[in-house]
């Protein structure tokens, strides 16, 4: 979630640095290129960290018996599977 917030903050900061007139004169593809150019390398850094996090989650998930992901270890949680779901009366 932190990576999504960082990405959103970068995009909002970029959009606030562009004038309304400049933005409205562009078509969709040009707007995307403008945002990509103005955010610079920070977007690539955030995307790389996001990819690294997801990859580490997958590796940890596949390499342990209980199929716990990295966030499960951080939070100290374990999923318990029950044969029948308890119904509240």
Instruction: Specify if 46 maps to a domain.
Output: yes
Query: Taking the CA atoms of the chain, what radius of gyration do you get in angstroms?
Result: 21
Supply 13's token pair. 């900061």
| Domains held by the chain: number | 1
Instruction: Specify if 85 maps to a domain.
Output: no
Q: Which of 12-16, 44-48, 75-79, 82-86 has the lowest mean pLDDT?
A: 82-86
Instruction: Specify if 7 maps to a domain.
Output: yes
Per-residue pLDDT tens for 38-47? 887 888 888 8
Supply 74's token pair. 């951080």
**Residue-level pLDDT at 47:** 86
Instruction: Specify if 28 maps to a domain.
Output: yes
Asked if 45 and 7 count as a contact pair (C-beta separation under 8 A), the reply is no
Instruction: Specify if 80 maps to a domain.
Output: no
- For residue 1, which of 40, 53, 42 has the smallest C-alpha distance? 53
Question: Using CA atoms, how far apart are residues 29 and 27, in angstroms rounded to an integer?
Answer: 6
Instruction: Specify if 82 maps to a domain.
Output: no
Instruction: Specify if 18 maps to a domain.
Output: yes
∠ CA 45-4-54, nearest 5°, is 70
Q: Is the pLDDT of residue 82 over 80?
A: no
By residue range, what is the domain housing residue 10? 2-75
């Amino acid at each position: 979630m932190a990576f999504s917030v960082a990405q959103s903050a970068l995009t909002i900061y970029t959009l606030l640095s562009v004038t309304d007139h400049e933005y409205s004169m562009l078509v969709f593809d040009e707007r995307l290129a403008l945002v990509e150019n103005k955010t610079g390398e920070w977007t690539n850094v955030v995307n790389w960290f996001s990819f690294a996090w997801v990859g580490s989650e997958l590796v940890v998930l596949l390499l342990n018996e209980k199929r716990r992901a990295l966030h499960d270890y951080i939070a100290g949680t374990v999923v318990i599977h029950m044969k029948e779901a308890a119904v509240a009366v």
